[in-house]
Amino acid sequence: MKKCIIWLRKDLRLTDHPGFAHAIENGYQILPIFIWDETEHRWQDGAASQWWLHHALVDLKEQLQLHGGDLSLYKIDSRGKFSASLIEIIREHQADAIYWGRRYEPEIIERDKKLKKHLTEQGYEAKSFNTHLLLEPHTIKNKSGGHYKVFTPYWKECLTHTIEPLTTISKKEWERVSWLETKSSTSIDDLELLPSIPWDEQFYDHWQPTRKAGLARLTEMVKSKAKTYNQQRDTPSVDGTSQLSPYLQWGQISAREIYHAFKKSYNDIVEKGYLRQLFWREFSYHLLFHEPHTPERPLRPEYENFPWKADKKSLTAWQTGQTGFPIVDAGMRQLWQTGWMHNRVRMIVGSLLVKHLLQDWRDGASWFWDTLVDADLANNTMGWQWIGGCGADASPYFRIFNPIIQGEKFDPNGDYVRKYCPELKDVPNKYLHKPWEMPELELAATGVTLGKTYPYPIISHEKGRENALKAYGDFKASLE
């Protein structure tokens, strides 16, 4: 019987997995593996994402054991040893083939190409599959044969393409699988993905990083939340979004599973609802694939010389939720406590950092990368470049969110702010998003002392707006 290694990466599932399906169809003996590589590329997964990965691996291992198999784990901590280590694993198990799901980070694409070429030359069957996206970046082209830089025409083109059906494996097929016994493997704990200090304690109150929990969220979204999604998606105090992003990030649920679950239940939801957001994710990968420099450099090259004003104190105040703007501070504290932030609030906090405080969008992207459980290089890059005015479909730099108005509009009753900024719980709604305007004696009666129990605004909205517009004006003038 021929032997096949299934190398799992951002596709930690057994359902809708073309690699498993292909190996089973061809009657291979199968060895599923996961490799944690600490050295190979610039964008190593951040700390919060590693926390999720640890639990996703535990869950996947248990799923495989129910089918009589297991997950073999390997850790590489020596730079430049990845390819050699993978080939050693193949040879050790006398495997004939290795299958994996494609990834789209620039450095990993190049490594995978070289790896596939080398393995093929060595006589191994090396196949890669689309396990992460609905439509791969190279398949969507504009009328001139190039790639899209604006979402709407990209979206319209996507609607003309057929999304592949789910890859299915029957119960009887699983029962007939012959599993290859591992020759060497480490434990999940030995990968050292969990933090050494317990900053993750509250994550457990908010998340269950298992496929079963992800499927439950998907079912709830399809059956109930989708009907009110357009009305509630911008209200951070309401549980109106799917929160499926971390399950998608590690592939515990596939994009195709989400797409087909919605298409089965709705006709118009694709155009106006949740699935449109799924295609924003696809668009992010489209841009990352065709513009591989964007995680570190602006899509619009003229923004290379934008006059950012690096200030460590301002950045730290923003990171720790101490800006003095309640909606911003609530968002940053939600991020620290749960590893996630509501999407509307992500735009508000990003605008304050980049516009009011003139901090480089890359500093914001770096913080999100380390603290989000759903940290995704394509989405994170596109979101921050949008905020910075330097990416595709970018918000113009002179569009500056007013954090006070944004708070009053999207958290009118203050439920979100009071949850994450409890020191402001007794401030009345009229002043909650601008406590510095409350008469001093009345504010003191709520237990708030500005500058002590809650900070003064790090900068006034008016001054921040003025600074941003001046910086933008000077920048535009320098280009003329």
Q: What is the DSSP letter of 186?
A: B
Structure-token match 């393409």, residue found: 161
State residue 411's pLDDT score: 97
- pLDDT, tens digit (0-9, with 9 covering 90-100), for 127-177: 999 999 999 999 999 999 999 999 999 999 999 999 999 999 999 999 999
> Which of 94-103, 229-238, 266-275 shows the lowest mean pLDDT across its residues?
266-275
Predicted pLDDT at 41: 67
Q: How high is the pLDDT of residue 299?
A: 93
* Widest CA span in the chain: 82
The reported pLDDT for the residue numbered 480 is 79
Give the pLDDT of residue 397: 77
**Torsion of the alpha carbons at 366, 371, 376 and 379, rounded to the nearest 10:** -70
267 or 108, which is more confident? 108
pLDDT at 103 over 80: yes
Q: What is the reported pLDDT for 396?
A: 75
Mean pLDDT within 263-283: 79
pLDDT at 40: 60
| Nearest CA among 344, 373, 190, 179 for reference residue 277 | 344
Sign (positive or negative) of CA dihedral 255, 116, 68, 173: positive
Residue 387: per-residue pLDDT = 92
**Res. 86: pLDDT tops 80:** yes
What is the per-residue DSSP string for 332-397? HHHHHHHS---HHHHHHHHHIIIIIS---HHHHHHHHHHH-TT--HHHHHHHHHHHHT-STTPPPT
Q: What is the pLDDT of residue 394?
A: 65
pLDDT at position 231: 86
Average pLDDT, the chain: 94
pTM score, two decimals?
Answer: 0.95
Per-residue confidence (pLDDT) for residue 227, from 0 to 100? 82
Residue 106 is predicted with a pLDDT of: 87
Distance from C-alpha of 30 to C-alpha of 265, rounded to nearest angstrom = 35
Task: Give the count of beta carbons closer than 10 Å to the beta carbon of residue 305.
Answer: 11
Q: How far apart are CA 205 and CA 212, in angstroms?
A: 16
Using only the alpha carbons of the chain, give its radius of gyration. 24
> Are residues 275 and 256 in contact, defined by beta-carbon separation less than 8 angstroms?
no
If you count them, how many residues does the chain have? 480
What b/e readout covers 429-439, taking b as 16+ CB neighbours within 10 angstroms?
Answer: eebbbbbbebe
Instruction: Give me the percent of the chain exceeding a pLDDT of 70.
Output: 98
Q: What is the pLDDT of residue 421?
A: 98
CB atoms within 10 A of CB 397: 21
- Give per-residue pLDDT as tens, 276-311: 889 999 999 999 999 999 999 999 999 999 999 999
Name the architecture of domain 1-132: 3-Layer(aba) Sandwich (3.40)
Burial degree of 267 (CB within 10 A; 0-12, 13-18, 19+): exposed
d(Cα 404, Cα 326) in Å, to the nearest integer? 8
SS3 197: coil
Q: Where are the alpha helices (DSSP H) in 266-360?
A: 269-272, 274-290, 312-319, 326-338, 343-351
Helices (H), 122-207: 151-158, 171-175, 203-206
**291 DSSP 8-state letter:** -
Q: Are the C-beta atoms of 234 and 401 separated by less than 8 Å?
A: no
Q: How many helices (H) and strands (E) does the chain have?
A: 23, 5
Task: Taking residues 68-82, report their average pLDDT.
Answer: 88
- Confirm if 99 and 127 have CB atoms less than 8 A apart: yes
CA distances in angstroms from 393 to 55, 61, 199, 390, listed in the order given: 35, 41, 36, 9
Round to whole Å and give the CA distance between 475 and 202.
43
Half-sphere exposure of 416 (CA within 13 A, CB side): 29
1: pLDDT confidence band, cut at 50, 70 and 90? confident
Give the integer Cα–Cα distance in Å for 139 and 145: 10
Phi and psi for 33 in degrees, rounded to 5?
-135, 155
Rounded to whole angstroms, the Cα distance separating 187 from 229 reads: 41
405 has a pLDDT exceeding 80: yes
Beta carbons within 8 Å of 23's beta carbon, 6+ residues apart: 4, 6, 30, 97, 99
Whether 270 has a pLDDT exceeding 60, the answer reads no
Residue 269 has pLDDT above 60, yes or no: no
Instruction: Round to whole Å and give the CA distance between 133 and 136.
Output: 6
Written as six digits, the tokens of 135 are 């439509």
Query: Is 441 within 8 Å of 456 (Cβ atoms)?
Result: no
CATH topology for 301-479 is DNA Cyclobutane Dipyrimidine Photolyase, subunit A; domain 3 (1.10.579)
User: What is the separation of C-alpha 215 from the centre of its chain, rounded to a whole number of angstroms?
Assistant: 18
Residue with the bigger pLDDT between 277 and 410: it is 410
The residues facing 3 across adjacent strands are 29
Q: Can you give the pLDDT at residue 268? A: 62
Kindly state the average pLDDT of the residues 414-434: 98
Query: Domain segments of the chain: what residues?
Result: 1-132, 133-163+208-290, 301-479
Q: What is the pLDDT of residues 349-378, one digit of tens each?
A: 999 999 999 999 999 999 999 999 999 999
CATH C-level class of 133-163+208-290: mainly alpha
Question: How many angstroms from the chain centroid is the CA of residue 247?
Answer: 9
Section 72-80 average pLDDT: 85
